[in-house]
Amino acid sequence: MERKGILFVLSGPSGAGKGTVLHEVLQRVSGLAVSVSVTTRAARPGEIDGIHYHFRTQEQFQAMVENNEFLEYVSKFNNRYGTPKAQVQKLLEEGTDVVLEIETKGAAKIRKNNPDAVYIFITPSSFEELTRRLSVRGTESPEVCALRLKIARTEYRSIRHYDYIAINDNLQECVDAVCAIILAERNRRKRNPSLAERLMNPCSKC
Ligand code: 5GP
């Protein structure tokens, strides 16, 4: 195996379009797996257990916490979310690149143990645009929109810890940017030490 998998952490406020961007990126970039999180929130219409999330009860989630089964976990909007450790570690060991689509507090926990991971923040180019999108989306009540905007303000403060900001005003441009980041990271010399070694030391008969 030439290298271990790269861990990509994708964050951004609610309404930034992370899910849509990731869906498009997966159509374009091969060899990328998405970690399926565990959550205590109820499934939304169309969401499938094991594909969008592993939907679990509070008790089941707590048992996983006590068994140390999460890379990170948080509470958000009165629900709990966690990244299952075994699944992600196995993929990385096998050399598969893995994307976590998680909020900023969880990303901060991942950062402590994964300095080599790549942190990408997806956002519209202004807070005003985010506000507009959340209000026209119409899927949440004004109270929930206000709560999401309040949380977004704190999430923006953590932008300084991210390696990349991918602006999502235009979906295709944002997808292009995220694909470019992934491809560039894959080609970093430091991530391909045995390839570099082989190229620096060709066999004497060649
Ligand atoms: P939603 O309920 O809308 O699917 O997700 C709410 C938020 O939780 C989103 O910002 C999403 O990225 C985040 N999230 C989903 N799974 C996880 C996880 O495993 N860990 C953390 N820290 N955040 C998550």
Per-residue pLDDT reduced to its tens digit, 123-157: 999 999 999 998 887 667 888 888 889 999 999 99
Q: What is the CATH number of the domain that holds 100?
A: 3.40.50.300
Give the number of domains in the chain.
1
Q: Report the C-alpha gap between 132 and 16 in whole angstroms.
A: 11
In a domain, 159, yes or no: yes
In a domain, 22, yes or no: yes
Mean pLDDT across the chain: 94
- Domain with 102, as residue range(s), is 7-35+96-200
pTM over 0.85: yes
In a domain, 137, yes or no: yes
Q: Is the CB of 41 under 6 A from ligand 1?
A: yes
Per-residue pLDDT reduced to its tens digit, 52-70: 999 999 999 999 999 999 9
In a domain, 133, yes or no: yes
In a domain, 193, yes or no: yes
69 SS3 class: coil
Q: Residue 198 Cα, ligand 1 centroid: separation in angstroms?
A: 41
Question: Contact 149/16 with Cβ under 8 angstroms?
Answer: no
| pLDDT value at residue 56 | 98
In a domain, 73, yes or no: no
Question: Contact 121/101 with Cβ under 8 angstroms?
Answer: no
Q: Residue 172's pLDDT band (boundaries 50, 70, 90)?
A: very high
Closest atom of ligand 1 relative to the 13 alpha carbon:
10
C-alpha closest to that of 99 among 114, 119, 71:
119
In a domain, 87, yes or no: no
Instruction: Give the percent of the chain with pLDDT over 90.
Output: 84
| pLDDT value at residue 135 | 84
Tell which one of 102, 134, 155 to mutate to probe ligand 1, the residue whose CB is within 8 A of the most ligand atoms: 102
In a domain, 138, yes or no: yes
